[in-house]
């Protein structure tokens, strides 16, 4: 059974904090900084006593202290707690960040909803890769090598003719925030033959291209000998040789997206 990764593997260990005695004006200035966080754990002698956000400061007097406006009854996590359990707490409590404390209540880090999403992405991709490797082995009877590395987008051969504009927007949003799932690529190159076929990640690649990103991280699967891929045949039939050949469909939604009118 696969080990559940603990919170300690995904939390941010170096956390900016404020003290209960800090003034509202000083903390407001830090939150208003474009590069600043949206809130701070409140610590006294390294022990977490509360949490303060920009919302807490909105109607507060500038001369008031953090202790007067902070949330006192906050939820905290243990470093050994599984990321999945932390995700449940974050979602059910409708919070964005969860302070992580040791047995004495001292702050050891903070885990956010973004960290949780990243953890799920990093676990999902290997499952896809494993399934694809098993399929290729069963179909072609070949051993498969695998590595994780950067690939040049210009070298990729797409295997999907169309992508959807609404999903493309979502992948661009993820890329801008460092949440992109690695690509899955099959390398059948042998001399001048074969190609570097994109098996999973077409929306991510087009989004990266729009953001002028030249390379991305990918799981690269390489058969021990040359094989004829069904997706390679499909790509050739559709005239796909580079990501420039992929069409962005912007006049319709993704087929799995429905409106409430459609459901009635």
* Residue range(s) of every CATH 3.10.580.10 domain in the chain: 7-115
- The residue behind tokens 């960290």 is 115
Q: State the pLDDT at residue 251.
A: 60
Contact 218, 183 (CB under 8 A): yes
* Residue range(s) of every CATH 3.90.1530.10 domain in the chain: 142-249
Q: State the pLDDT at residue 260.
A: 41
* Mean pLDDT, range 62-67, rounded to an integer: 92
Q: Which residues contact 218 (CB under 8 A, 6 or more apart)?
A: 148, 149, 150, 151, 182, 183, 184, 185, 201
Q: What is the pLDDT of residues 172-181, one digit of tens each?
A: 878 887 777 8
pLDDT above 50 (res 259): no
258 or 240, which is more confident?
240
Residue 50 — very low, low, confident or very high, per pLDDT cuts 50/70/90?
very high
* Mean pLDDT, range 60-69, rounded to an integer: 92
Range 134-157 burial, b when 16+ CB lie within 10 A, else e: eebeeebeeebeeeeeebebeebb
8-state DSSP, 246: P
Q: State the pLDDT at residue 158.
A: 95
CA distance 41 to 43: 6
Q: State the pLDDT at residue 262.
A: 43
Q: What is the pLDDT of residues 34-45, one digit of tens each?
A: 887 889 999 999
Sign of the four-CA dihedral 205, 206, 212, 214: positive
CA distance 130 to 116: 22
* Mean pLDDT, range 47-74, rounded to an integer: 91
Q: What is the pLDDT of residues 114-147, one digit of tens each?
A: 888 777 766 667 778 888 888 899 888 888 999 9
Q: Token digits for 110?
A: 């903070």
Question: Which CATH code, of 3.30.565.10, 3.10.580.10, 3.30.1370.30, 3.30.360.10, is assigned to 7-115?
Answer: 3.10.580.10
Of the candidates 82, 62, 234, 66, the residue with the CA atom closest to the CA atom of residue 158? 234
Secondary structure class of 64 (helix, strand, coil): coil
Residue 191 — very low, low, confident or very high, per pLDDT cuts 50/70/90?
low
CA distance 98 to 96: 7
Q: What is the chain's alpha carbon radius of gyration, rounded to the nearest angstrom?
A: 24
Q: What whole-number percentage of the chain has pLDDT above 70?
A: 91
- Cα 118 to the center of its chain, rounded Å: 4
Q: Which residues contact 96 (CB under 8 A, 6 or more apart)?
A: 38, 39, 90, 112, 113
Q: State the pLDDT at residue 3.
A: 63
- CATH number listed for the domain at residues 142-249: 3.90.1530.10
Residue 261 — very low, low, confident or very high, per pLDDT cuts 50/70/90?
very low
Give me the chain's average pLDDT, please.
86
Q: In what order do the strands lie in the sheet with 156-157?
A: 144-152, 215-223, 183-187, 196-200, 156-157
Q: State the pLDDT at residue 228.
A: 84
């Amino acid at each position: 059974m696969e080990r559940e990764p603990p919170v300690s593997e995904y939390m941010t260990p170096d956390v900016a904090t404020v003290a209960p005695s800090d003034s509202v004006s000083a903390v407001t200035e830090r939150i208003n900084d474009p590069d600043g966080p949206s809130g701070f754990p409140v610590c006294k002698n390294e022990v977490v006593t509360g949490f303060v956000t920009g919302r807490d400061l909105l109607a507060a007097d500038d001369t008031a202290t953090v202790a007067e406006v902070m949330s006192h009854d906050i939820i905290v996590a243990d470093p050994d707690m599984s990321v999945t359990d932390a995700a449940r707490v974050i979602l059910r409590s409708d919070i964005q960040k969860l302070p992580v404390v040791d047995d004495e209540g001292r702050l050891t880090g903070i885990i956010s909803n973004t960290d949780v999403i990243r953890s799920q992405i990093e676990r999902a991709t290997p499952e896809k890769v494993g399934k694809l490797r098993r399929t290729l082995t069963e179909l072609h009877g070949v051993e498969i090598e695998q590595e994780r590395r950067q690939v040049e987008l210009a070298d990729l051969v797409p295997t999907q003719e169309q992508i959807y504009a609404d999903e493309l927007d979502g992948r661009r949003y993820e890329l801008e925030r460092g949440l992109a799932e690695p690509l899955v690529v099959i390398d059948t190159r042998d001399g001048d033959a074969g190609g570097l076929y994109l098996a999973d990640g077409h929306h991510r690649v087009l989004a990266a291209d729009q953001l002028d990103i030249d390379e991305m991280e990918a799981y690269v699967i390489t058969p021990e000998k040359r094989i004829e891929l069904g997706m390679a045949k499909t790509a050739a039939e559709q005239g796909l040789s580079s990501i420039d050949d992929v069409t962005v469909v912007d006049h319709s939604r993704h087929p799995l997206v429905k409106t409430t009118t459609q459901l009635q």
